[in-house]
């Protein structure tokens, strides 16, 4: 694969990277630049944790079975993350009944513009709900809640197809994912970048590139996912070798897989005939 990197979209005009920025990132001038936030192009929004993909509902972890099933389901990954926050002002034992400072069940069904629960308005965070009387630290919550849910999102059939299309592009050109944040470390006191998680998943089929993740520490890594990526690359290599012996076949394959433009384009876009 070519290079796959993450860059901040803050301050960018029109979602375009300057030649100097591309050079600093170490990518080629023909790199494909994709905004994978909820403000990106529609086909790229499937990667945002703020986006609901079809009718899929995520099961919210740690909530007891006494909570009705429909209240234990979330439209988005971000809804789970925000909804399970427990703030310092929440009275002890009121985590499931105080909708303002405890678990906010409304966030599980909220639209992507009404998801945030900030310390600016609600005060300090005690932790994320991890069961009765259990409050997860930010590091544990990122592992047990965020990464788990986001992996489920990337494995949904329509999203998984887009992941495969990104891998196809990355075999030919450098890829740059734009996100508001670029943090790839669970232990840093900065928002975790979902684009960094996506980058690792495109490259390896897991989150081993995320510092502090179970895969990075070798706790849960299996060879299955990585072998799937490796096998796909081997198939691509074999196809390239075969086509190199048949010029007409090679020309057709290049036409079928052509990606239009160099910046902020969908990997599914086809080059138009002129």
State the pLDDT at residue 112.
77
Instruction: Give me 164's structure tokens.
Output: 């495969």
Domains of the chain: which residue ranges?
A: 4-51+157-256, 58-146
State the pLDDT at residue 239.
42
State the pLDDT at residue 220.
62
Q: Are 209 and 184 in contact (CB under 8 A)?
A: yes
Instruction: Give me 16's structure tokens.
Output: 């375009």
**DSSP percent split of the chain into helix, strand, coil, nearest 5:** 40, 10, 50
- What does DSSP say about strands 32-35 and 58-59: parallel, antiparallel, or unpaired? unpaired
What's the predicted TM-score (pTM) here? Answer: 0.79
Q: What is the pLDDT of residues 162-186, one digit of tens each?
A: 999 999 999 999 999 999 999 999 9
State the sign of the Cα–Cα–Cα–Cα dihedral 149, 215, 46, 25.
Answer: positive
Beta strands in the chain, from DSSP E residues, in sequence order: 4-8, 32-35, 58-59, 73-74, 85-87, 125-129, 135-136, 175-179
Q: What is the pLDDT of residues 27-59, one digit of tens each?
A: 999 999 999 999 999 999 999 999 999 999 999
State the pLDDT at residue 13.
77
Q: What is the pLDDT of residues 79-93, one digit of tens each?
A: 999 999 999 999 999
Residue 12: HSE in the Cβ half-sphere, 13 Å Cα cutoff: 22
Query: Cα torsion for 43, 78, 211, 20, to the nearest 10°?
Result: 40
Q: In the chain, which stretches have pLDDT less than 50?
A: 221-274
∠ Cα 41 83 94 (to 5°)? 170
């Amino acid at each position: 694969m070519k290079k796959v990197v993450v860059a901040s979209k803050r301050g960018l005009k029109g979602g375009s990277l300057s030649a100097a920025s591309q050079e600093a990132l170490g990518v080629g001038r023909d790199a494909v630049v994709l905004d994978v936030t909820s403000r990106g192009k529609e086909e790229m929004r499937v990667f945002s944790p703020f986006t609901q993909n079809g009718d899929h509902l995520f099961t919210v972890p740690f909530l007891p079975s006494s909570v009705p099933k429909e209240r234990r389901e979330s439209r988005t990954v971000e809804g789970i993350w925000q909804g399970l926050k427990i703030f310092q002002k929440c009275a002890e034992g009121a985590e499931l009944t105080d909708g303002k400072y405890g678990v906010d069940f409304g966030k599980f069904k909220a639209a992507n513009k009404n998801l945030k629960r900030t310390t600016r308005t609600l005060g300090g965070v005690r932790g994320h709900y991890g069961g009765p009387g259990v409050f997860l630290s930010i590091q544990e919550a990122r592992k047990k809640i965020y990464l788990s849910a986001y992996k489920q999102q990337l494995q949904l059939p329509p999203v998984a197809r887009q992941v495969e299309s990104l891998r196809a592009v990355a075999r030919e050109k450098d890829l740059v994912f734009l996100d508001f944040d670029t943090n790839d470390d669970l232990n840093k006191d900065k928002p975790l970048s979902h684009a960094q998680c996506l980058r690792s998943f495109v490259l390896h089929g897991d989150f081993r590139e995320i510092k502090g993740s179970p895969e990075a520490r070798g706790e849960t890594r299996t060879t299955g996912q990585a072998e799937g990526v490796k096998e796909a690359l081997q198939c691509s290599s074999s196809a390239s070798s075969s086509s190199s012996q048949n010029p007409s076949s090679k020309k057709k394959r290049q036409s079928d897989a052509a990606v239009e433009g160099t910046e902020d384009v969908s990997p599914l876009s086809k080059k138009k005939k002129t």
